[in-house]
Amino acid sequence: MKLFNQGLPGRSAITYAGLLEKIEILRSTLRWASHLNRAEIEKLLRQSTALRDDVMQLSHLERFVKAASGDGEATPALPSEPTLAPPGERRRALRERSFIFEGTFGDNPKLLEALEVAEKAAPTDLPVLIDGESGTGKELMAKVIHANGARADKPFISVNCGAIPDNLLESELFGHKKGAFTGASNDRKGKFESAHKGTIFLDEIGELPLAGQVKLLRVLEAHEIQRVGSDETMIVDARIVAATNKDLRRLSQEGRFREDLFYRLCVIHVTLPALRERKDEIPLLFAFFGDEAAEILKRRPVKMTPRLRDFLLNYAYPGNIRELRNLIYRISCLAGDTADLVHLPNNIRPAARTANDVAIAGANGSAHALLSPNSLSDAKRAASDEAERLFLQHGLNEVGGTVAELARRCDMNRSHLQMLLKKHGIHSKDFRKQHVPVEEKRVQ
């Protein structure tokens, strides 16, 4: 059989005539096909999905043009991209419109765009689909939408669709009646009922099994639920916000997510940027989370050694903002005044390898060979740090771990010396043990 193979017209060149032609080809393919195999059906489905997307885009553009022309009579040329205000101004404007950020931090244009969409979507009851990598703030964005809407004082119920065993899914979402199944010892409300008048946040919606998807679709269509084991139907009025770190459109094309459910959920679609797309904001995020951690831990905001800062500025953050935030909290908790590489978790700490290697290499006079700096100044700084560390270790060894004695011998201020030891994560007591007499060791 013959299926049309050329792609749909480019986005800018979509025309009604072009679309009609494609629709006619699809129609005649279906009319004359004696039978279709699975691959052909899937191809036709993909083509009709693409057509629908283009029809929607065309209609959107048309509405946009009408709105721009005022009366909708004339059809002027399509408007060029609207010019956006600078990020600071966009954030300020949101604040002036009493937008509730719920602690969302950042001026990245993609993040601001998401916040602006959230602002418009919040007062409506339209379903919102939020996507983005893990830790990009999807749940936070769902809370922003809830907080800025008319349901703000009603419940916000979060459901992790990926964490519910298949056999408990229906009861978890819709509740059950006493005796509905073994273990159902009481009547129980489901999440939808709990979210009545408020918002239900369906997290990791891409993990929902197909059977669960069918049930969810029914609720979206009819706004009613039935507790497991009950004949009664109940009306529920819950605003749906769903989130995923998967590409739902692709999953639906692959038949792993119901296409009709996808279109119902993503009436408004918000995509959150990964941290690597907003690298310029990392220093601001250090300060933001550093202050936050300081307040919680009742301490002064932690400082960072240059090499830790360099590392954290260039790190890939696969866990995005959550990972950055956790790292700042960790170093704020573990470090004294200034944090260093030694305060990072083992699995990402480059210095766990570098420090040892450098110590060995230092003895061989080839420390520089083990460093892989990005620039000459990095190399100088790393070499100077290592020299300082080796000097302190050697000195403490000489004086049996007595900091006051080392400070005296080096003619250094003792508190400055303490600060340097802290910076390198060196503990003077580690050098004392080596000098414990054999007899004493036995007694301990």
Contact footprint for Mg ion (CB under 5 A): 139
> Which DSSP state fits 369?
H
305 lies in the site for ligand ATP, by CB under 6 A: no
CA 67: distance to chain centroid?
35
Encoded amino acid at 425, one letter: G
Number of residues that bind ligand ATP (CB under 6 A): 16
Q: Is the Cβ–Cβ distance between 428 and 407 less than 8 Å?
A: no
Residue 29 binds ligand ATP, judged by CB under 6 A: no
Interaction partner, residue 175 (Mg ion, ligand ATP, none; CB < 5-8 Å by kind): none
Choose which of 140, 334, 383, 412 interacts with ligand ATP (CB under 6 A). Answer: 140
Query: What is the per-residue binding string for ligand ATP in 208-247, x denoting contact by CB under 6 A?
Result: -------------------------------------x--
In the complex, least distance from residue 432 CB atom to ligand ATP, rounded to whole angstroms: 41
Query: Which of the listed partners (ligand ATP, Mg ion, none) does 135 bind, with a CB threshold of 5 to 8 Å by partner kind?
Result: ligand ATP
Spell out the alpha helix ranges (H) of 242-375: 248-253, 259-265, 282-297, 306-314, 320-334, 350-364, 367-370
Question: Which listed option, ligand ATP, Mg ion, none, makes contact with residue 257 (CB within 5 to 8 Å by class)?
Answer: none
Q: Which does 91 bind (CB under 5 to 8 A by kind): ligand ATP, Mg ion, none?
A: none
Q: Of 133 and 139, which has the nearer Cβ to Mg ion?
A: 139
Task: Between 110 and 381, name the residue whose CB sits nearer to ligand ATP.
Answer: 110
Tokens of residue 416, six digits: 């400055």
Closest-CA residue to 190 (of 182, 204, 200): 200
Q: By CB under 6 A, what part of segment 74-133 binds ligand ATP? A: 103-106, 132
DSSP reduced 3-state for 137: coil
3-state secondary structure of 201: strand
Question: What does DSSP say about strands 234-235 and 268-271: parallel, antiparallel, or unpaired?
Answer: unpaired
* Eight-state DSSP code of residue 6: S
CA distance 59 to 401: 77
Choose from Mg ion, ligand ATP, none: what does 172 bind? Cβ within 5-8 Å by kind.
none
**Contacts to ligand ATP from residues 313-342, by CB under 6 A:** 321-322, 325
CA 120 to CA 114: how far, in whole Å? 10
Please give the residue ranges that form the binding site for ligand ATP (CB under 6 A).
Answer: 103-106, 132, 134-140, 245, 321-322, 325
